DNA sequence: TTGTACGCGTTATCAA
DNA sequence: TTGATAACGCGTACAA
C-alpha cells in the first residue's frame, strides 16, 4: 500500500494535519518542520492520492474524451492537441472509442459519470439525437468537436466545411474544369451537407450550372470503396475532376484510376478533404483541404478548461486551407490544330 | 452536485446503509425496500461515485498507458486492442503520450501514481534505463510492449523481430536477390538489433556473405528522410533490393526512387516492416512484415488483468507474417543473348 | 505554530 | 431486516 500522510506523521512525530500543511508549503508551519516533513516524504516515496483529494474537492482533474476511432488520422491529431493543453493544466484524459455504436456511446457516458470526470469532449458524433435523454442528467460541461447535429445547449468547435469545400472547388474551376463531380458521405449528414453546399456555392460563383448526375454519395462499406464506386459514375458522366468528401474517398478513387489506367491528374483531377498523412504518400500526392486538426483539439480543450473555471465560452468555427499537391492540373485537351487550349467540354 | 446514497436515503426514509445494500441487491434487504430504493435511485438519476468506491477498495479500475505517440499507426492498433479488453473488464484507460522525452515519461509515471492506477502499460520505451530509479517505488504491475531494453523485473509482450526480419529477407533471397541492403534505425537499439540479426541469419542460411556497405543506419530527422538517405547509399553500392527497419523508412525510399526514376520493383525491390495502413496506398503497394498489433495490445491488457487478479503471467513473443504486395519482384537482368536470367550480379 | 474534529461518498462490521 | 458507526486519505475550520 502507498505511503499516506499518516505514515509520515508517525515517522515525523507530528499530526497528519501538520504533514498536510507542510507538504502544501503552508506558511503557518515553521520552516524547520516543513523542511523536515518534506524531506521525510521524499525519502518514504510519498505520492499524494488524487482519489482522496478528488473526494474532498469534488474535482477529479479528469476529462472524458469520446472519439469514434483513433484509427482515423484526423482524430488522432485532434486528440494530440487536446492532450497537450490538458497535460499542461494538470488534467488527465480518459480516452474511449465509440465506433459510432449508440449503445457504446451510452455506456461511455455512464462510465464517465461514475468516474466523475470534470467535463466531456466528443468528436464527430451525432450527439443531439442520441444523447438527448441522458444529457440533462449530466451536470458537467460538454464540448463538441465537428458534431453532426445542431444543438443550442452544448458548446462546440467546428471546422468551416463550407469554406473549405468552396476553396477546393474554386481551385478546380480556376484550373479550367467545368465537369466537376462531388463524392459525398451520407453517413455524416451534417458535414456532408455543408461540403456539398460549398461545392454548389463555388459553382454558382463561377456561373456553372450544377449537374445532379455529378453529385453522388455511393453506398459502400468503407470510404475507400466509396471512392472506387464514385469513379465509375463520374467517369461515365464525363467528369474531368472530382472533389471528395474526405481523403480516404479520394485515395480510393486514386486506386481505382490506376486500375483503369486513368491517369491523374492528366485525365482526372482529384481533391480530397482533411489532409491526413497518407495523402502525402499517394501517387500522385493528393491535393486536399487542410483542416486545422491540432488546433481543433487544442481549442476544444482550452474551451473546456475555461468552462471549468467558470468563464464563458464562445462557440468557434475554424477555417481551412487548400494544400495544392500533384493530383490536380489544368483541364487541357489537344485541339485540332495541335495546340493546347482550355476547354469546357 | 450528483445525487448520493444519502439523498436517496432521505427520500426513501431509510438509512444510507440500507440504500447501499439495496442498490447492491444484498439479500439481507427485503424485496420491497430493495425495489423501492432501486426505483427511486433511477428516478433521481443516481450514479455511484467511482471515486468514493476507489478510496475504500483501494482499486481504481484504471490502467495507465504510456505510448510514444498515437500518430504512429502501429501504436494506434496496439491501443485499440488494449482498449477492447479493458472496456470489457470494466477498466478505463488513462492514455498519455511521452514523445520519447525522458522528462515527460517521468512526469507521466508520477501522474499515474497520484491517480492510483492499478497497473501501467508502456509501449516501445527504453524503460530499463530511464525508469530504474522510479521503478522500485511503484508497487503496481508494469507490462511492457515491444520494449527496447532487457529487464527481468518486468512483464512483457514482444513481437518476434528476428523471425519477421528473416521472413522478409528470405523472401528477397527467394526472388533471386543477392545484393540486399538493410536500412536500420539506430534510435530503437533493441528492435533494430534484432531485425538486423534476422537479416544476417537469412543471408547466412542462403550462403550469402553479408557486405558491411549494405547495412546502414542513416542519421536523419525522420524515418521518411532516413529512407531517402538510405537509397543514395544502397543504389551506389549496387543493391537490387532493400529491407527497411519499418514502413515509413520504406515509404521514404519509395518516394526517393520515384524522384530518381528508379522503378520499383523492376530496378529495386523494397520490403518494409509493421504493415501500417499507408503501406496500402503507396505506389506500388508495399510488401512488408505484418506485426500482430491488435493482438499485441490485447495480450498486454489480458496479461495486466491477470496480474491484477493475482495470477502469474508469462512473457510472450508473437510471430510476424509476410505480406507480399507489389514492391518486390524477381531480380532479373537482360543477358547478352536476349533471354532473361536470374543473376547474382 | 500545531493539533482536534469533521466531512467528502461509499462499504463493512457489529449491534439491534 | 435494518441502522449506527467506523474507515478509506486528505484538507480545513476551529481550538489551543
pLDDT single digits (tens) B85-126: 999 999 999 999 998 887 888 889 999 999 999 999 998 776
Residue B32 sits in which domain range? 5-48
Question: Do B51 and A116 form a contact (C-beta atoms < 8 A)?
Answer: yes
| Domain-located, residue B304 | yes
Integer CA distances (angstroms), B305 to B34, B63, B65, B159, B302, in order: 33, 9, 13, 20, 5
Instruction: Indicate the pLDDT class of residue B58, thresholds 50, 70 and 90.
Output: very high
User: What is the pLDDT at residue A77?
Assistant: 93
pLDDT (average), residues A101-121: 91
User: 3-state class of A53 per DSSP?
Assistant: helix
Q: Taking a C-beta distance cutoff of 8 angstroms, is the pair B272, B251 a contact?
A: yes
Chain A closest-CA separation from residue B181 CA (Å): 22
Cα–Cα nearest to A239, from A274, A202, A265, A200: A265
3-state secondary structure of B319: coil
Q: Is the same domain home to A143 and A201?
A: no
User: Which of B148 and B342 is assigned the larger pLDDT?
Assistant: B148
Domain count, chain B: 3
**Bigger pLDDT: B278 or B179?**
B179
Strand C near-CB residues (< 7 Å), A 217-236: none
A315 touches chain B (CB under 8 A): no
From A294, A291, A279, A340, select the one nearest A319 (Cα to Cα): A291
Q: Which of B324, B321, B287 is nearest to B164 (CA)?
A: B321
Mutation choice for A interface testing from B281, B285, B297 by most A CBs within 10 A: B281
A281: nearest CB among B79, B97, B282: B282
| Residue A336 belongs to a domain | no
Residue A118 covered by a domain? yes
Distance separating alpha carbons of residues A52 and A57, to the nearest angstrom: 9
Interface probe with B: pick from A1, A71, A95, most Cβ of B within 10 Å: A95
Q: Is residue A150 domain-shared with residue A177, that is, in the same domain?
A: no
* The pLDDT value given to residue A343: 41
* A150 and A171 together in one domain: no
In which region does residue B330 sit, left (phi positive, over 0), alpha (psi from -120 to 50) or beta (all else)? Answer: beta
In a domain, A338, yes or no: no
Q: In what order do the strands lie in the sheet with A287-290?
A: A215-216, A180-183, A241-244, A269-274, A287-290, A321-323
Rounded to an integer, the average pLDDT of B240-251 is: 96
Q: Are residues A265 and A253 in the same domain?
A: yes
For chain B, percent helix, then strand, then coil, each to nearest 5? 45, 15, 35
Domain co-membership, A270 together with A313: no
Question: How confident is the model over A49-73, as a mean pLDDT?
Answer: 95
Residues of B in contact with A50 (CB under 8 A): 114-116
A133 with A204, same domain: the answer is no
Pair A150, A178 in one domain: no
Q: Over chain B, what is the mean pLDDT?
A: 90
The reported pLDDT for the residue numbered A154 is: 79
Which residues in chain B are closer than 8 Å to A135, comparing Cβ atoms? none
Beta bridge partners, B272, equal: B288
Please check whether residue B203 lies inside any domain of the structure: yes
Identify whether residues B286 and B165 lie together within a single domain: yes
Separation of alpha carbons A125 and A123, rounded Å? 6
Residue A1 burial by Cβ neighbours in a 10 Å radius (0-12, 13-18, 19+): exposed
Which chain C nucleotides are covered by protein, judged by CB under 7 A? 1-5, 7-13
Question: Is B186 in the A-facing interface, judged by CB distances under 8 Å?
Answer: no
Q: Do A251 and B58 touch (CB under 8 A)?
A: no
Q: Radius of gyration of chain A from Cα atoms?
A: 27
> Which is higher by pLDDT, B334 or A34?
A34
Query: Is A255 near chain B, with CB under 8 Å?
Result: yes
Can you tell me the mean pLDDT for A85-98? Answer: 96
pLDDT at B73: 83
User: What percentage of chain B has pLDDT greater than the value 90?
Assistant: 73
Top residue of B70, B101, B120, B138 to mutate, by most chain A CBs within 10 Å, is B70
Q: Is B314 exposed, middle or buried (0-12, 13-18, 19+ CB in 10 A)?
A: exposed
Which DSSP state fits A213? Answer: G
Q: Which of B:49-68 have CB within 8 Å of A?
A: 49-52, 54-55, 58, 60
Cβ <8 Å between B1 and A110:
no
DSSP bridge partners of B243: B182, B271
Alpha carbon of A163: minimum distance to chain B alpha carbons (Å):
27
Determine whether the interchain pair A282/B281 forms a contact, defined as Cβ–Cβ distance below 8 Å: yes
Instruction: Test B95 with A97 for CB contact under 8 angstroms.
Output: no
B339 domain residue, yes or no: no
Distance between CA atoms of residues A281 and B97, nearest Å:
25
CATH of residue B208's domain is 3.40.50.2300
Instruction: Give the per-residue pLDDT at A117.
Output: 98
Closest chain A residue to B135 measured between Cα atoms?
A45
CB of A75 closer than 8 Å to CB of A96: no
Report helix, strand or coil for B113.
Answer: helix
Q: Do B190 and B173 reside in the same domain of the chain?
A: yes
Domain assignment present for residue B106? The answer is yes
Global pTM exceeds 0.85: yes
Q: Which residues of A touch B45 (CB under 8 A)?
A: 137
Is A183 found in the same domain as A106? no
Position B127 scores a pLDDT of 59
Same structural domain, A150 and A165: no
Contact A278 B277 (CB under 8 A): yes
Burial class (CB within 10 angstroms; exposed 0-12, middle 13-18, buried 19+) of A106: middle
Residue A54 within any structural domain of the chain: no
Q: Residue B178 and residue B331: Cα distance in Å, rounded?
A: 9
d(CA A24, C1' D14) / Å: 20
CATH code of the domain containing B11:
1.10.260.40
Helix pair A127-135, A102-115: axis angle to 10 deg: 40
pLDDT at A133 over 50: yes
A243, A254: one domain: yes
Mean local confidence (pLDDT), B298-312: 95
- Those nucleotides of strand D lying less than 7 Å from any protein Cβ are 1-5, 7-13
Amino acid at each position: 500500500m502507498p505511503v499516506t500522510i499518516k505514515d509520515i506523521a508517525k515517522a515525523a512525530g507530528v499530526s497528519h494535519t501538520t504533514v498536510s500543511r507542510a507538504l502544501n508549503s503552508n506558511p503557518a508551519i515553521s520552516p524547520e518542520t516543513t523542511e523536515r516533513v518534506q524531506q521525510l516524504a521524499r525519502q518514504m516515496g510519498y505520492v499524494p492520492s488524487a482519489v482522496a483529494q478528488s473526494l474532498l474537492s469534488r474535482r477529479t482533474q479528469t476529462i472524458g474524451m469520446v472519439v469514434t476511432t483513433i484509427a482515423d488520422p484526423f482524430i488522432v491529431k485532434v486528440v494530440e492537441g487536446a492532450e497537450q493543453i490538458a497535460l499542461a493544466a494538470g488534467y488527465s484524459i480518459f480516452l474511449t472509442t465509440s465506433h459510432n455504436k449508440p449503445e457504446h456511446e451510452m455506456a461511455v457516458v455512464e462510465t464517465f459519470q461514475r468516474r466523475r470526470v470534470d467535463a466531456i469532449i466528443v468528436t464527430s458524433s451525432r450527439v443531439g439525437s442520441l444523447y438527448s435523454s441522458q444529457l440533462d442528467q449530466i451536470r458537467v460541461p460538454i464540448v463538441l468537436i465537428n458534431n453532426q447535429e445542431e444543438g443550442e445547449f452544448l458548446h462546440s468547435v467546428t471546422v468551416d466545411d463550407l469554406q473549405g469545400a468552396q476553396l477546393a472547388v474554386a481551385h478546380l474551376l480556376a484550373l479550367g474544369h467545368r465537369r466537376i463531380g462531388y463524392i459525398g458521405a451520407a453517413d455524416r449528414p451534417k458535414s456532408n451537407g455543408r461540403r456539398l453546399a460549398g461545392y454548389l456555392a463555388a459553382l454558382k460563383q463561377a456561373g456553372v450550372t450544377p449537374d445532379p448526375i455529378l453529385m453522388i454519395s455511393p453506398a459502400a462499406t468503407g470510404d475507400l470503396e466509396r471512392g472506387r464506386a464514385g469513379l465509375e459514375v463520374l467517369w461515365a458522366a464525363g467528369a474531368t475532376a472530382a472533389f471528395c468528401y474526405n481523403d480516404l474517398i479520394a485515395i480510393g478513387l486514386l486506386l481505382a484510376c490506376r486500375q483503369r489506367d486513368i491517369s491523374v491528374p492528366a485525365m482526372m483531377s482529384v481533391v480530397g478533404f482533411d489532409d491526413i498523412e497518407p495523402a502525402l504518400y499517394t501517387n500522385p500526392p493528393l491535393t486536399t483541404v487542410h483542416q486545422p486538426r491540432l488546433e481543433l483539439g487544442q481549442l476544444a480543450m482550452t474551451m473546456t478548461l475555461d468552462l471549468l473555471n467558470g468563464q464563458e465560452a464562445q462557440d468557434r468555427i475554424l477555417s481551412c486551407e487548400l494544400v495544392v499537391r500533384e493530383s490536380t492540373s489544368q483541364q487541357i485537351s489537344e485541339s485540332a490544330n495541335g495546340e493546347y487550349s482550355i476547354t469546357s467540354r
